[in-house]
Amino acid sequence: MSADRVPASPSPDAAGGPLLLPAADTLLLQVDHPAAESCRAELAAFAELESSPEHVHTYRLSDLGLWNARAAGVTPAQVADILLRWCAGPVPHAVLRSVADTMDRFGRVTIEGGAVGWEVFDGAVGGGAAGEAVLAVRTDTEALLDELVLDPSLGALLGPRLDGTTAALDPANRGRLKQRLVELRWPADDRAALSPGAGLTIGLDPSLELRPYQRQAVDSWLPSGNGVVVLPCGAGKTVTAIAAAAAVGANTLVLVTGDASLQQWHRELTRFTTLDPELIGCYSARSKQLRPVTIATYNVLTTKKDGRLRHAALMEQGDWGLVVYDEVHLLPSAVFGLTAGIQARRRLGVTATLIREDGRQGDVFSLIGPKRFDVPWRDLELQGWLAPATCTEVRVVPSDAERLAHARAAVRDKPHVAATVGAKAQLVGRLLARHPGEPALVIGTYLDGLGPVAEALGAPLVTGATPTAQRLAWFDQLRNGELDVLVVSKVANFSLDLPEVSVAVQVSGTFGSRQEEAQRLGRILRPKADGRQAHFYTLVARDTVEQEYAQRRQRFLAEQGYAYQIIDGHEL
Amino acid sequence: MREVNRVAKLLQLEPRDVGRLVELCHQARLVAPEPSALVATDLAATWWGLSRSRRWLVLVRAWLGSSGFVSRALSADEDGNPRPALGDSEPVAAAAAARAVTLDVVAAVPDGEAFDPEQLAETVVWRSPNLWGTGFPPPEELVAWTLEEADLLGLVAGHAPVPVLRALVAGDEAAVESLAAASLGVDQDRFVLQGDLTALALGPLEPAVAGSLGEVADRHWGRSVPTYRFTEASVRRALDRGWTADGIGRFLADHALSGVPQPLEYLLSDVERRYGAVRVLTASAVIITDDEALAVEIASTNRAARIGLRLVAPTVLVGPVEPHRLVEELRAEGWFPVLDGGVATVGRAGGGGRRGRADEVSTPSRAPAPDQPRPERPRPDPLPADWTGPALEAAVLPAEVADAVDQLVTDRTEAAATEIDHRLHLHWNRTTLVRHRRDGHLAEVRGVLVGVDETLTLLCDNGIEELPLDTVVAVEDPAR
C-alpha cells in the first residue's frame, strides 16, 4: 500500500461556478475549482461550514445561519446574488424565495428596554423587581403580536399589552421568551440595554499584540455585548476573549469545559493581563474561589444535590459584567437554563464550530446570541497565522505477548497496555530522523512508556515531578537549539509555549475528546518563522483500543481539513 | 394503507405522494399488483437501465396515454375516505383527450406569465365542449387533476409551462429529448472519496453504481444529499456479501473522481485482515479426548473422514452427525466413548492403548489423577456411608465436580465452595436426584444442580430447592 500516493484532483465543473446546490439546505463547494477561494469567503457570511475534507466542503443553509447573516446586516438580495454568481447550475426560484422569507423573519420582533421604569436597570443589575415591566417586546405589525400572544407558551411569558405592537416583558422571562421565539421561527433582535456589571480595570500586558482578526472579532462583538465568535483551533480564542473582557472592563465569569481548560485560562489571564493574580479565581470541583475574574467549569455549575444545581448562584454572584462561554458548542443543557436567567449580562461565546452534536444550535442563538464574527481557517493559514500541518498515524504491531496482555487486561487497563507497547520506543527515533534539525516534542500519557523513549533518544524527560527551574531551563535549551528533542508527560505539556516546535510525536494519548486533540495540535503547532510545515505523529498500537480511538480522531481531523495519513511502522 | 405509510416514512414523503407515484408506475407498467403484493415487472428492469431523461419520458408518455388519473390515488372520495392507492383508476374514456387539450392550453400561456387554474379550466371546456359527456367527473375536476399531475411530472411549475412541455405539445421529439436531458442531467458513475471516509455524489448516481456503493458503505438518509460513510461495519458487511477488499478497492478506484484516500485503503485492509479471524461453525457433536495423540488417531481414520470429523483444537474434534450416532461410530472403530450431553469423551486409561477395556476408559471417576494425589483429610462430620460412597461416584456429575462436592462436604471451606461453584459453571445443567433427610425421614428431590455452597441448590419443576449440606445423604443419576 503506498503511503505517499497523491490523489488526482476531481475535475471541477469548469463550465460553471464552484458551488453545487443539490438540495434546498445544502451547498457543496468544490475545493479544486479556481474560484473556490473567492466563493468560500462570501459563503461564510450566511452558510455554516459542516465539514471540510480535501475535495468537497459541505455547507448548510439553515434558518440560524441566515438569521446570523441578517443580524450582521447581510440582506437577502446579497445572499441571492452570491448563490446566483457561484452556483454551477440554475438556482431554483423556490430556494431564493425561502432564503428571503427566512431572513426577513429576523428582527420583526425586537426586545427593547425602557418601556416602563427603564431607569431601574441603571446601575443595578437585575434590580427590576420580579413582575415589574422594565422591558418591552415590539413587533412590526399588530397581527404578528396577536399571533405571539395567542401561542400558549409564548403568551404566558408576555406581560400586559402596552399598545397594538408592544407588550411588556418581565426581565425574568427574557431568555425563555427568546428561546420560544426561535422555536416559532420569529427570532428576536434583543436590543435591550445590558447591565454594566461591577467595574474592573483589566489591562492587557504590553507583550500581547492582538492580531488584526482578533481585534476585528472583539470590535464586531462589543457593540451588541452578546453573541458568538467563531475562530479555528490555534487561532487564539482565549486571547480574543481576554481582549473582549479588557474592552468591557468589568467583573468577568469564564465558563470552561474542564480542568485542563481552566488551568490554561488561568495561565493566559495571568500572563496576558495586568490583573493582580489575587483577583483571578478558579471555581471547580477542587477549589471554590470567587474573585472578580472567576474561571469555572461547566461541570461544577451542573453539579446537582437533591435534584438542585448546587452552584447555580454563581451566575448571580459577583455582579458579572461579562460571562464568557468557552467552547460554546459543548455547553451542557443545564447551563442553557442558567443562561436564560442572566440575559441582562454581556455574553460572549467562543468556539471553533457552531455545529452541536445535539442540535441545540437554536439555544446558542437565542440565549448567547448570534454569530458576530467568523474567520475561515483557510484565510488564517494563507495569512500565515496558522501553520499548515499534516497528521500521520503510525501503526505499531505489538508482539504476541503484548497482544495477549492487551486481550487479558481489564477494559480500563487496555489503553495503558496499548500505550506502552515496546516497539514504540524505537519508532520515535526513526520518525525524528525524518526531520533533522527541527525542534521536536515527544508527548505521552504514561510515564512507564515515556521512560524507555527518553532513554532511547538520550533526551531529557519532563514530568509533573520535574522542578520548575529545570523544566524552564530545558524549554529554553529547546528554544535556542541546544536541545533537539524533549520528552514530556501529559502533565507537563500544558504549560508549553514553544512556537518553533514543528514536530510532535504522540506516543500515547488519553483520547478524551476529539476537540481536545485538535486543540493540542493547534497549540503546539504555531506558525514557524520560515513557514515550514508542522508534523504531528501519533503512534497507534494495531488491533488495540488505540486503533478504535484513532478512527474517531481521523474522521474529526479530516473533517476539519487536516491532511491525514496512515503509515506502517515497519515501513520506516 | 399501512404499507403506503411505511414507504412514505422510509422515503420521507407524504403518503399521498407515494400513492401517486405507485399509480404512475402502474400506468407505465413498471409495477403490477398481485394478490398480496405489488411486484416490479420485467419492464422495470429495462427501465432502470435507461438514462434519467429516458426514464422520465417513459413515465410522461405512459401518463399521456392513460385512461386513469394518478391524482385519484389516496385522494378523498365523496364520503371523505381516502381512495385506494391502486385500483380506483376507473377508466375515463376521454382522459387522454382531455389531458391533451389541457396541456395544449397550458403550453399556449406566454413566456413569463402564469395561468389561473380556474380560468384555464373554463378555457379548456370552452375549447372542446364535446369532450365532456355526462357521467364523467366534472370537467373542472379533470382539468385540476391534469394540472396537478403535470406539476408532479415537472411539466408545469408555479402555474406556468416549462419549455419541455411546449416541445412535447408541439411534437418536437428532438427538442423534448435534449430539453429533458438538460434539465434532468445525466446519471453519474463517479463520486468523490474523501479522507473523512465519506463518499459524496455530486449528482444522481447510476443505479448500479449507487447499489454497489450502498453495499460497501452506509448511506445516510438524514440529509437531503446522499452521503456514504465507510465504517468497519460497512466493509465487514460487504465482505459478508462476497466482496473482497481488493474488489472494493478496484470498484472505488474505477469510480472515484479523486482516487482512493489512503486512510480508506487502510480501513479496507484492516477489516480484511481481521475478517474471519474468529470463525463460527456448526457442529452436531463434539469429541473431547484425553490427549492430543488420541485425537489425531481418531481424526486420521477413514471413518472420521467419511462422517466428516474435523480436528479443531489439539484434543477437540467436531462433526456434523448426531451425538448418539457418533458414539456408535466411535465404538465401531474400537474406542469406548461416553456420551456427556452433546460431548463425547474418549479417554485413555493408565496409558493403555486405544482398544482398552470399557470400564477403564469411559467412566468419569472421582479417583484422583495419578500425578495429583489428594492428601487424606480428617472428616470432622462424617456423613452416612452411602453418601460418601457409591452414590457420588455413580452420579452423572463429571468427576471433577463430584470431587469438589465431596471436598466441600468434607471440609466446608469457602475455597472449596468457590471452586465447586466455578466448576459447576462449566457443567451445570444436569438433572440430579438428591436424597436427603427431612423431618427425620429420607426424602428425594429431582432437579438441575445449579449451585453448591452451604446448600445444594436445585432447579426443580416447582421452583428452587435449597438443601442444607448436612441433610444431604446422596446425589445420584436419576436415570439409574
Distance CA A214, CA B163 (A): 52
Look-up: residue for cell 427593547?
A: A112
Q: How far apart are the C-alpha atoms of B90 and B100, rounded to whole Å?
A: 19
CA A546, A377, A554: angle at the middle one, nearest 5? 15
3-state secondary structure of A442: strand
User: What pLDDT sits at residue A539?
Assistant: 93
Please compute the mean of the pLDDT values over residues A59-69 and round it to a whole number. 90
Residue B203 parent element (H or E): none
| Section A490-518 average pLDDT | 68
Of B196, B258, B270, the CB nearest to A51: B196
pLDDT digits (tens, 9 = 90+) for A382-417: 788 888 888 899 999 999 899 888 888 888 888 889
Closest CA to A439 of A480, A403, A402, A392: A480
Quick: pLDDT tens for A227-274: 999 888 778 889 999 999 999 999 999 999 877 778 889 988 999 999
pLDDT in tens, B302-323: 888 888 888 888 888 888 888 8
Each residue of B349-405: pLDDT tens digit? 443 333 333 333 333 333 333 344 433 333 333 333 333 322 333 234 455 555 666
* B253 contacts chain A (CB < 8 A): no
Grid cell 464574527 in the structure block, residue: A373
Q: Is pLDDT at B11 greater than 60 in this prediction?
A: yes
Q: Is A514 on the interface with B (CB under 8 A)?
A: no
Contact B369, B403 (CB under 8 A): no
Contacts of B232 in chain A (CB under 8 A): 551
Count each helix (H run) and each strand (E run) in chain B, helices first: 21, 18
Sheet holding B310-313, edge to edge: B310-313, B316-319, B285-289, B343-346, B338-340
pLDDT for the residue A493? 53
- For residue B308, the distance in angstroms to the closest alpha carbon of chain A comes to 33
Distance, in Å, from the CA atom of B335 to the CA atom of B301, rounded to the nearest integer, reads 12
Q: Where does B217-336 have alpha helices with state H?
A: 232-240, 245-255, 262-274, 292-299, 302-307, 323-332
* pLDDT for B249: 95
Q: How far is A456 from chain B (nearest CA, A)?
A: 29
Give pLDDT, residue B428. 47
Of A22, A25, A566, the CB nearest to B263: A566
Q: Comparing A463 with A189, which gets the higher pLDDT?
A: A189
Reported confidence tier of residue B456, pLDDT bands at 50, 70, 90: confident
- Name chain A contacts of B195, Cβ cutoff 8 Å: 53-54, 554, 558, 563-564
Confidence of residue A4 (pLDDT cuts 50, 70, 90): very low
Write the pLDDT tens digit of every residue in A477-488.
988 889 999 998
* Residue B20, helix vs strand vs coil: helix
Could you tell me if B200 lies within 8 Å of chain A, comparing CB atoms? yes
CB-based contact A565 B263, cutoff 8 Å: yes
User: What is the model's pLDDT at position B403?
Assistant: 63
Distances (CA, A) of B382 to A521, B42, B310, B409, B412: 73, 84, 47, 9, 12
Check: CB of residue A282 under 8 Å from CB of residue A295: yes
A191-234 pLDDT, tens per residue? 888 888 889 999 999 988 999 999 999 999 998 899 999 888 77
B223 touches chain A (CB under 8 A): yes
Judge whether B265 is closer than 8 Å to chain A, CB to CB. Answer: yes
Task: Give the closest of B196, B198, B257 to A10, CB-based.
Answer: B257
Amino acid, res. B233: A
Q: Grid coordinates in use for A319?
A: 455582579
Nearest to B263 among A9, A22, A564 (CB): A564
Average of per-residue pLDDT across B264-287:
85
CB contacts, 8 Å: B274 with chain A: 543
The residue type at A489: S
Of B225, B263, B269, the CB nearest to A554: B263
> How far lies A226's CA from each of A191, A235, A325, in Å?
10, 21, 11
* % of chain B with per-residue pLDDT over 70: 74
**Residues belonging to chain B:** 480
pLDDT at A121 over 50: no
Measured in whole angstroms, how far is the alpha carbon of residue A183 from the centre of its chain?
A: 24
What number of other Cβ atoms are within 10 A of residue A340's Cβ?
19
What was the pLDDT predicted at A229?
A: 94
What confidence tens digit (pLDDT) does each residue in B169-202 have? Answer: 988 888 998 888 887 777 788 999 988 899 988 8
Task: For residue A21, give Cα distances in angstroms to A309, B185, B194.
Answer: 46, 14, 19
Percent of chain A with pLDDT over 70: 89
Distance of CA B310 to the CA centre of its chain: 29
Taking the CA of residue B215 and the nearest CA in chain A, the distance in Å comes to: 21
Residues A25, B158: C-beta atoms closer than 8 Å: no
Tell me the pLDDT tens digit for each residue of B13-44: 778 888 888 888 888 889 888 877 888 888 88
What integer is the mean pLDDT of A43-48?
87
> Any idea what DSSP says for residue B84?
P
A7: contact with B, CB 8 A cutoff: yes
- pTM, two decimals, is 0.67
For A54, phi then psi, to 5°, come to: -70, -30
Least Cα distance to A370 among A521, A570, A525, A230 occurs for: A230
Residue B390 is predicted with a pLDDT of: 28
CA distance A37 to B374: 83
pLDDT category of residue A518 using cuts at 50, 70 and 90: low
**What confidence score (pLDDT) does residue A393 get?**
92
By the CB < 8 Å criterion, does A92 face chain B?
Answer: no
Count the neighbouring beta carbons within 10 Å of the beta carbon of residue A135.
30
Which 3 state secondary structure label does DSSP give B376?
Answer: coil
Q: What is the mean pLDDT of the segment spanning B240-269?
A: 92
Q: What pLDDT is attached to residue A513? A: 56
> ipTM for the complex?
0.71
List, in sequence order, every residue forming a beta bridge with A293; answer none if it has no partner: A252, A280
How far, in Å, CA of A230 to CA of A240, rounded?
11
The answer to whether residue A10 neighbours chain B at the CB level (below 8 Å) is yes
A11–chain B Cβ distance below 8 A for any pair = yes
- A419, amino acid identity: A
Residue A559 contacts B, CB cutoff 8 Å = yes
pLDDT for B445: 83
Amino acid identity at A75: T
Of A9, A23, A559, the CB nearest to B224: A23
Chain segment B30-83, per-residue pLDDT in tens: 988 887 788 888 888 888 888 888 889 999 999 988 887 777 776 777 777 777
* DSSP one-letter string for B263-288: HHHHHHHHHHHHTTSS-----SEEEE
Tens-place pLDDT, residues A417-435: 998 898 998 899 999 999 9
| Residue-averaged pLDDT of chain B | 76
Kindly report the nearest CA distance between residue B228 and chain A, in angstroms: 13
* pLDDT tens-digit series, residues A348-373: 999 877 766 666 788 888 899 888 98
Please state, in angstroms and rounded to a whole number, the distance separating the CA atoms of residues B462 and B110. 88
- Nearest residue on chain B to A94, judged by CA atoms? B158
B192 touches chain A (CB under 8 A): yes
- For residue A305 the three cell numbers come to 444535590
Give per-residue pLDDT as tens, A156-189.
999 888 889 999 888 888 889 999 999 999 999 9
**Residue-wise pLDDT tens digits, B339-352:** 776 566 776 544 33
Contact criterion met (CB < 8 Å) for B224 and A51: no
What is the structure's pLDDT at A494?
52
Grid look-up 472494493 returns B248
A371 neighbors A72 (Cβ within 8 angstroms): yes
Spatial distance between the Cα atoms of A345 and A325, rounded to a whole number of angstroms: 13
Structure confidence at residue A115 (pLDDT): 38
Q: Phi/psi at B387 (nearest 5 deg)?
A: -80, -45
CB-based contact, B197 to chain A, within 8 Å: yes
B262 neighbourhood in chain A, CB within 8 Å: 1-3, 5, 565-566
